[in-house]
Amino acid sequence: MTVPELPCEITVIRSRRKTLAAEIRRDGALIVRAPLRLPEAEIRRFLHEKSAWIRSHLAKQQALREQLAQMPAFTQEELAALRQQAQHTIPARVSYYAARLGVTYGRITLRFQKTRWGSCSAAGNLNFNCLLMLAPPRVLDSVVVHELCHRIHPDHSRAFYAEIRRVFPDYAQCHGWLRQNGARLIGRLPD
Ligand SMILES: [Zn+2]
């Protein structure tokens, strides 16, 4: 759905609810939650009333994106500090979630990587990107849980994601954060 006064794609999700609600995701997409049979004209009227609020929110997001895009490459000192922080933080998160999932694991390797946030080898050795220290803590945990769930399912099957959601219900949101912000962090790694 599109509305002339709003510069974004609008997704309408209908469900058994009684009220209308609008939500702007981090990636700038607008989600409208609406009752099952509410006429589309009502939704348009609602969006029209909210359009000033939505536009100002989108403008703020855009300003933040531009500000972050201008950030310089990390210095060696910054990278060393992040690595140290990762060494203090990530093994403890792995140990916590391994216990919750009831899985074992091998060695944990922490490094700066341009292509991945984490991996899990067939032998159970885990690898994490130190840049995760710049993500919200919950996002770091979501990567830890993803890799540990590969100890149960070595694939990306439905069963794999069901297992993730069992211990980590907001996984999709965290994954979305990485999709949205990850490239900016990786872009600041020196060549
Ligand atoms: Zn995976």
pLDDT digits (tens, 9 = 90+) for 21-60: 999 887 778 999 999 999 999 999 999 999 999 999 888 8
DSSP per-residue string spanning 132-158: GGGS-HHHHHHHHHHHHHTTT-SS--H
Q: Tell me which H or E stretch contains 2.
A: none
3-state SS, residue 112: coil
Q: How far is the CA of 62 from the centre of ligand 1 (A)?
A: 30
Q: Inform me whether the pLDDT recorded for 69 exceeds 90.
A: no
Q: How far is the CA of 146 from the centre of ligand 1 (A)?
A: 6
Q: How far is the CA of 123 from the centre of ligand 1 (A)?
A: 15
CA 191 to chain centre: 25
Q: Inform me whether the pLDDT recorded for 141 exceeds 90.
A: yes
Stated pTM of the model: 0.66
Q: How far is the CA of 184 from the centre of ligand 1 (A)?
A: 21
Domain ranges of the chain: 10-69, 76-186
Q: What architecture is the 76-186 domain classified under in CATH?
A: 2-Layer Sandwich (3.30)
Q: How far is the CA of 63 from the centre of ligand 1 (A)?
A: 33
